[in-house]
Amino acid sequence: MPETHILQIAGHQTVVETPTEDAFGAETVDAACEIRGYKAEIPNPAYDPADPDSPEMIPNPQSREMFRDMDVLTYLRLMVVQYRKANRDITPNDMAAKNEADLAKIDVISSGPVV
């Protein structure tokens, strides 16, 4: 069953579909997780050292596939920033404000198996 990832860029949705049995698709997940430092567990934001039942670490709510998708989106964002630096004549402050506003428009809408 294929995996479908819906990315939204400035209000336009793009569907990326990869077969789950595809070795390259699995390798992209492994590569992104290893290179970018995916952690299966993360610090518990609700950790209470006074509570013996409060775990310090919890399972990462972001799946390995979602982590890979976010890595792809980070690459897209960086590409836009580099393009703007090379092709725009605006002040660094204006650039930072524009980047923050526009790059927030790139997001993962959903990620996971096709139902």
Contact in structure between 38 and 46 (CB atoms under 8 Å): no
The model's pLDDT over 11-49, given as tens digits with 9 standing for 90+, comes to 666 666 665 567 777 888 899 899 989 999 999 999 999
To the nearest whole number, what is the mean pLDDT of the chain?
77
The model's pLDDT over 66-79, given as tens digits with 9 standing for 90+, comes to 888 888 877 877 78
CA distances to 4, 14, 72 from 114, in Å: 6, 15, 20
Q: Across residues 43-61, what is the average pLDDT? A: 94
pTM above 0.75, yes or no: no
